[in-house]
Structure 1
Amino acid sequence: MLFKNKVAIVTGAGRGIGFEICKQLAMEGATILLNDLDHALTSSATAAINMLRKDSCTGMEGDAGDISFTREIVAFAVEKFGHVDIVIANAGITLFGDFFTYPPESFIKTMQVNLAGTFFLAQSAACQMKLQQSGGSILFTSSVTGHQAHKNLAAYGMSKAALEMLAKSLVIELSQYGINVNTIAPGATLTERTMEDPDYRETWSRITPMGRPAFVSDIANAALFLVSDKAKHITGQNLIIDGGWTSVSVSPE
């Protein structure tokens, strides 16, 4: 029970990577505040985790890109559970588009959710952890597209690279309070969304050196390590989980 008596907030967790992180945290003893924008996903994900471990998960729907909501979710966690130990800013949005015609509204939305939401969630969480005087762990979800160019994802890749710089910058601000902050950068991963593409598994299995895209458990395993006490001396770092893809960077057709 690596996370016994720990309280964790995870955004964008109604399905996919975020849900798997919540599930694994709960099975390791954590109390979870699970967030998603979608009401139905929030409810179903929370219920599924509570079926695995009773009363381990509370759902809170809301827009993780809304700055006022990032404050509300931290305040709610403190009100309900008394403290916050782990925050995983997993919520993000991917809006594809050709650079020459990429609309301003798509750019602004991408930056609002991926950057502003993450920045101000981290701010609210860090203020609370500082007040608690017991340290804490913050984790951001970046992407391999923050390291290697990907067609029609200039804005998205830019936002994800910025998250990694944010983690480095916060080392200066947070280390003195015992708070570590890191990022994970998933590569191609089999989720409900990516599997809507019938060619996704075959394509990424062909161009990934390890012979397959990631499972959500591969990403969650890395995330849990970085927010555990086993990684307390690791901060300002990024961990790429991509089966070696960024080493060769073969582009999917």
Structure 2
Amino acid sequence: MTEVFLEEIFNISDKVVVLTGAAGRVGSHFSQTLANAGANLILIDKDKKILKLKKELEIKFKVKICAIVGDITKREDVKKITKIIQKEFGHVDVLINNAHYVPRNHPKRDAPLEEFPLELWNLAIKSNLNGLFLMCQEIGKIMIKQKKGIIVNISSIYGITGPDQRIYGKSKLNSPSFYSATKGAMVNLTKYLASSWKDYNVRVNTLTLGGVYDSKLHTNKEFVKNYSNKTMIGRMANTDDFDGALLFLTSDASKYMTGSNLIIDGGWTSW
């Protein structure tokens, strides 16, 4: 197998890729990975940090990047996003739905389900599912019209398995109920869209991630040890552990794959 063949099969050079949640920890790394592979990017986030990220990536990788500060839970913002995309690029090759909401400082964030506030539940559903729905709906219209496209939905192991509450101990970390609910819904929406848009050459897959280590967030050594022991590889993920899977799903290397869930979790779900 030659180097040229490998470059061609995983090639996303000059593809137009839309990425939501682009300013976050995983999203900003995905942005760099995609730009490094030669993709032209539309970076979307509510955080204005994406404006700085855009400049950095353009200088480093010499690709075309459009950064849009917007709220994907609002239809008017998503409509604005699609208009900008069509004006700047004329088409879309890939949509990566990476945005999600996890409140870090809400006093009821870690409350058990029987005490969990409805207003926080509704906020999470709005952020994690409504935004996903609107992006798929509006970008999907473009892909249907052009009769091709790839959608990658970024989910979590807690979308396919229940959280092991024992690993959290006294770490003050937890996995709130809405997280499992919304990530699980994403996995099944993937299958629905893959089935619905099969005749338009639109492939839809889920990329399910294991827990990603964050030195600022994961300061409790007991939690990190407990989590690591639950994986076969023996550690939490680093952001670059997903690079190969991301390039696989966004390129022709996965051309016979749709409606599937690619799980990169260090073996967590395979015990």
- With normalisation by structure 2, the TM-score equals 0.84
Contact 2:12–2:250 (CA<8 Å) still a contact in 1?
no
Q: Which residue of 1 aligns with 2:54?
A: 46
One-letter code of the match for 1:35? Answer: I
Matches within 5 A, 1:47-196: 47-95=55-103, 96-97=109-110, 98-133=112-147, 135-150=148-163, 151=165, 152-191=175-214, 195-196=216-217
C-alpha deviation, 1:17, in angstroms: 1.6
Q: Distance in 2 between matches of 1:91 and 1:76?
A: 19
Contact 2:190–2:205 (CA<8 Å) still a contact in 1?
yes
Q: Which residue of 2 aligns with 1:224?
A: 247
Q: Distance in 2 between matches of 1:118 and 1:58?
A: 20
- With normalisation by structure 1, the TM-score equals 0.90
Instruction: Pick the structure with greater CA Rg.
Output: 2
Q: Distance in 2 between matches of 1:106 and 1:78?
A: 35
One-letter code of the match for 2:217? Answer: E
Paired residue secondary structure (2:122) = helix
Paired residue secondary structure (1:233) = coil
Q: Distance in 2 between matches of 1:51 and 1:4?
A: 17
Paired residue secondary structure (1:23) = helix
Number of residue pairs aligned between Structure 1 and Structure 2: 244
C-alpha deviation, 1:42, in angstroms: 1.0
More displaced, 135-144 or 21-30?
A: 21-30
Contact 1:94–1:110 (CA<8 Å) still a contact in 2?
yes
C-alpha deviation, 1:53, in angstroms: 1.1
Paired residue secondary structure (1:91) = coil
Q: Distance in 1 between matches of 2:153 and 2:192?
A: 13
Q: Which residue of 2 aligns with 1:244?
A: 267
Q: Distance in 1 between matches of 2:249 and 2:51?
A: 27
User: Which ranges in structure 2 are unaligned for 5 or more consecutive residues?
Assistant: 1-6, 104-108, 166-174
C-alpha deviation, 1:247, in angstroms: 2.6
Verify: 1:198 aligned to 2:211, yes or no. no
Structure 2 vs 1, CA of residues 36 and 220 (structure 1 numbering), >3 Å: closer, same or farther? farther
Q: Distance in 2 between matches of 1:44 and 1:221?
A: 26
Give the aligned CA root-mean-square deviation in angstroms.
Answer: 1.8
Paired residue secondary structure (1:196) = coil
Q: Distance in 2 between matches of 1:169 and 1:213?
A: 31
C-alpha deviation, 1:203, in angstroms: 4.1
Contact 2:35–2:63 (CA<8 Å) still a contact in 1?
no
